[in-house]
Structure 1
Amino acid sequence: MLKFRRIILWMVILFLVITIPLLSYAKSLPKFSFGSRLLYTGTYGTDVLKLQTILEQAGFDVGTIDGIFGAMTLNGVLDFQREKHLKVDGIVGPQTYAALENVHWTDPLVYRIKPGDNLYTIAKKNGTTVEDILKANDMDDPDNLYVGQQILIPHPPVVVPPELYGATNYQELKQNIEKLISQYPGKYGVYFIDLNTGQTFEINGYDPFIAASTYKVPLNFYLYTLITEGKIDPNMKVQYTKVDYEGGAGSIQFEPVGSYYTIRELSRRSIVESDNIASNMIMRVVGRDNYIKFMENLGAKVIPYSSNIASPYDMSMYMKKLLEYENEHPDTAGELMYYLKNTIYGDRISYPIPDNIEVAHKVGNLDNVVNDTAIVFHPTKPYILTILANNVDGSDNSYAYTVIRQISKMVYDFQNK
């Protein structure tokens, strides 16, 4: 028995010795531009991560998406090459790259249903509607899903008029964006920050806009400063009361009044789901006057004293200061940044950006408002982009979403040159 225990102990030690360095390594993959080299068994890097993401979205099983070209990734590449009538050699070269790029931008995504999935969250995450998913799959019942089922998700490419490309500097990029938004009704505000150089440009950047749910960024930022300072315990439980109720986004509205939630759970729902009740409960805990003072101290230009307003500058400033704060306090504020990177909404700034590039963002919606503020963690040229659209059609997939996606693609492609 003692000998058996020693064998088990050594097996555990061996597993940890192998696995821990591997996991640590996977988090710091070497960076390669997609298409810059041949990929084959044994290669690793951010380009392999993108390869795995594209194949997985196209319905080819690659196992764990970890940036390491192993046996499962090889099988996915071979299956892809067979389907596309390419040379079946397991090597990702020019022809396979071309086919992969075409799949990424033009083919519907192939998605496997996971436990807890529903078509609403799948649609929001992928920038489409439940109706469009049902139509693409010839389905009648949105609730008739099963774990492991593969469904097609419409994912049309973002097309920017050719005449709006070719900018050589930020001033020209700004002018091209102005030409784009001049073709649509409503008012748009843009504020951009290059995180490497500090260069900025803005369009209506200091004007007041209805913030909608983007206000949840400074609210949660303030909450996490209190957590960092030990003034609030993230595991403290707060009771949901009638005064907290608000319809719209979020799932707490479907749960019984009187339920208890930890501060951490309220923050997660407030950001990931944009839950209005969770945000109201957080505001009740931290105090609205304190929240207002926090924004004043950060240097906001438009303060929501009597209505929920902000400027594009303010939202980009909040994101920049949050990023700096998270770098100083990763153990606490890192949790908030994780929520921002994993919201259920992928229909605006993040939509045209390759899936292997992290985007921390927060959307906001009303009947006549479509907003998004984001940190785009480009591997060499990270940036912050806020786009606020007021007096527009706020319904799903309206022209405002198209405009925001086009602006995002213009900015990303410029940074990616």
Structure 2
Amino acid sequence: MASLIRKGGRKRGFIYVSTFFFLTCTLLASWFMWKQNQISSLQFIVYLNEREDKTVVAEEIDYSQLEQKIKSYLYRFSGTYGLYVEDLATGATLEINADKSFPAASVIKVPLILFLYSLAIDDRIDLDEEMVLEAGDIESGTGILKTEAVGTTYTLRQLAQYTIEYSDNSATNMLMRRLGRENFYFFLRLMGAEIIPLGPGKGNIMCARDAALYLKGVMALRELHPEYGQEVLQYLLNSKFDDRIPAGIPKGIQVANKIGTQVNVVNDAAIVLLNGKPYVIAILCSHIHEQEAVGAIAQISKLVFEYHRQYVPLDIFTEEEGISN
């Protein structure tokens, strides 16, 4: 009899544990689906989908000659280069290894800020909300917060500015802590990214096409919400790093760019606000010598700009404008 009671108790215990486990998993799954639905319904995501459905104007730029010129130029260098260029007026594209996976480095910070501002548009987050700098947020490398005292407070808007203008790693960590890494990755999927990062220590990766997608997202944000869109665009225009794509563009032309750098990796992605012919350009490089790649990106940028320049009325340029090398 005692043996039967013990067996019955163990069975009931197993049933209780199994039921608790099942209910916990169900609640977690429901919560996760609720979070995904909240992100899926963002005005920005809905707008992107509607925007994609619009018919693109027939292509008027033939990039074939430019593509051959760039390929011939890159042939002399070691390493791997990925390039994506898109004329925003027509949708014409130039692609070289555009879908190849590269370390994203700090270029991934652009869609993080898009996610933040998308939430702000829907009043799901307040850009004036304050966060406290924690010891775990501080990271070496680029940025200005790494030397600030733990306990210092910043608004989300300030963190966004530092993340883009100074490529601040610590500010990025704070925003990631606030927004949630998995939420951010799901946002990337909804944007249409082909390659999603695998997570810390597993691979912060993207392709040149996705890098350009995020820059186009900034322009879409400006269409949807001019104030917030211009704010994010201004962060990019104020970037403290101009030795890559901007170095190949005349000084009178605005370039909104975001660089990325790590060991053997040099990246840059930009919106070139050429009057009447704005375009996005993303160049990702790996297994390279840093200074060599920086120079190569500037030269490719110059070639792309000069090619676009032939489609723009000459009277928008001044005699003082020159292309730096």
Report the TM-score, using the length of structure 2 for normalisation: 0.75
Aligned-residue offset at 1:401: 1.0
Which letter maps to 1:323? M
Which letter maps to 1:380? G
For residue 189 of structure 2, give the secondary structure of its aligned residue in structure 1.
helix
Instruction: Please give the per-residue CA displacement for 1:301-330, whole angstroms capped at 9, x wherever unaligned.
Output: 111023200000001111112211212201
Match of 1:124 in 2: none
Q: Is 1:228–1:333's contact at 8 Å kept on the other side of the alignment?
A: no
1:390 corresponds to 2:286: yes
CA distance in structure 2 between the aligned counterparts of 1:357 and 1:369, rounded to whole angstroms: 27
1:280 corresponds to 2:176: no
CA distance in structure 2 between the aligned counterparts of 1:273 and 1:170, rounded to whole angstroms: 33
Q: Higher helix share goes to which structure?
A: 2
Match of 2:98 in 1: 205
Aligned-residue offset at 1:333: 2.4
CA distance in structure 1 between the aligned counterparts of 2:90 and 2:123, rounded to whole angstroms: 34
CA distance in structure 2 between the aligned counterparts of 1:414 and 1:221, rounded to whole angstroms: 30
Match of 2:56 in 1: none
**Which of the numbers 220, 230, 237 marks the counterpart of 1:341?**
237
Give structure 2 stretches of 5+ with no counterpart: 1-60, 311-325
Aligned-residue offset at 1:232: 1.1
Which letter maps to 1:201? L
Aligned-residue offset at 1:203: 0.6
For residue 201 of structure 1, give the secondary structure of its aligned residue in structure 2.
strand
1:414 corresponds to 2:307: yes
Q: Report 1:344-355 matches (<5 A).
A: 344-355=240-251
CA distance in structure 2 between the aligned counterparts of 1:261 and 1:240, rounded to whole angstroms: 8
CA distance in structure 1 between the aligned counterparts of 2:228 and 2:193, rounded to whole angstroms: 23
CA distance in structure 2 between the aligned counterparts of 1:321 and 1:340, rounded to whole angstroms: 13
Q: Is 1:240–1:258's contact at 8 Å kept on the other side of the alignment?
A: yes
Match of 2:182 in 1: 289
Match of 1:359 in 2: 255
What is the alpha-carbon root mean square deviation over aligned residues? 1.0
For residue 77 of structure 2, give the secondary structure of its aligned residue in structure 1.
coil
Match of 1:244 in 2: 137
Q: Report 1:109-148 matches (<5 A).
A: none
Which letter maps to 2:293? A
1:323 corresponds to 2:216: no
For residue 285 of structure 1, give the secondary structure of its aligned residue in structure 2.
helix
**Which of the numbers 363, 374, 382 marks the counterpart of 2:270?**
374
Match of 2:37 in 1: none
Q: Is 1:368–1:393's contact at 8 Å kept on the other side of the alignment?
A: yes
Match of 1:27 in 2: none
Give structure 1 stretches of 5+ with no counterpart: 1-167
Match of 1:223 in 2: 116
Aligned-residue offset at 1:352: 2.2
Which letter maps to 1:365? T
Instruction: Please give the per-residue CA displacement for 1:57-101, whole angstroms capped at 9, x wherever unaligned.
Output: xxxxxxxxxxxxxxxxxxxxxxxxxxxxxxxxxxxxxxxxxxxxx
For residue 323 of structure 1, give the secondary structure of its aligned residue in structure 2.
helix
Which letter maps to 2:246? S
For residue 332 of structure 1, give the secondary structure of its aligned residue in structure 2.
helix
**More divergent stretch after superposition (315-324 vs 383-392):** 315-324
CA distance in structure 2 between the aligned counterparts of 1:234 and 1:336, rounded to whole angstroms: 12
Q: Is 1:214–1:372's contact at 8 Å kept on the other side of the alignment?
A: yes
CA distance in structure 2 between the aligned counterparts of 1:276 and 1:199, rounded to whole angstroms: 34
Match of 2:83 in 1: 190
Aligned-residue offset at 1:207: 0.8
CA distance in structure 2 between the aligned counterparts of 1:381 and 1:333, rounded to whole angstroms: 19
**Which of the numbers 150, 156, 161 marks the counterpart of 1:268?**
161
Which letter maps to 1:267? A
CA distance in structure 2 between the aligned counterparts of 1:215 and 1:276, rounded to whole angstroms: 11
Match of 1:233 in 2: 126
Q: Is 1:370–1:388's contact at 8 Å kept on the other side of the alignment?
A: yes
Aligned-residue offset at 1:414: 0.4
CA distance in structure 2 between the aligned counterparts of 1:344 and 1:356, rounded to whole angstroms: 17
> Using CA pairs below 8 Å that are at least 6 residues apart, which structure has the higher relative contact order?
2
Aligned-residue offset at 1:200: 0.4
For residue 373 of structure 1, give the secondary structure of its aligned residue in structure 2.
strand
Aligned-residue offset at 1:380: 2.0
Q: Is 1:300–1:314's contact at 8 Å kept on the other side of the alignment?
A: yes
CA distance in structure 1 between the aligned counterparts of 2:131 and 2:283, rounded to whole angstroms: 33
Q: Report 1:20-59 matches (<5 A).
A: none
1:301 corresponds to 2:194: yes
Q: Report 1:64-79 matches (<5 A).
A: none
| Percent of aligned pairs sharing the same letter | 40
CA distance in structure 2 between the aligned counterparts of 1:320 and 1:365, rounded to whole angstroms: 21
CA distance in structure 1 between the aligned counterparts of 2:228 and 2:98, rounded to whole angstroms: 30
CA distance in structure 2 between the aligned counterparts of 1:233 and 1:410, rounded to whole angstroms: 42
Instruction: Please give the per-residue CA displacement for 1:179-229, whole angstroms capped at 9, x wherever unaligned.
Output: 111110111000010011100011110011000000001111111101111
Aligned-residue offset at 1:169: 3.1
CA distance in structure 2 between the aligned counterparts of 1:280 and 1:240, rounded to whole angstroms: 10
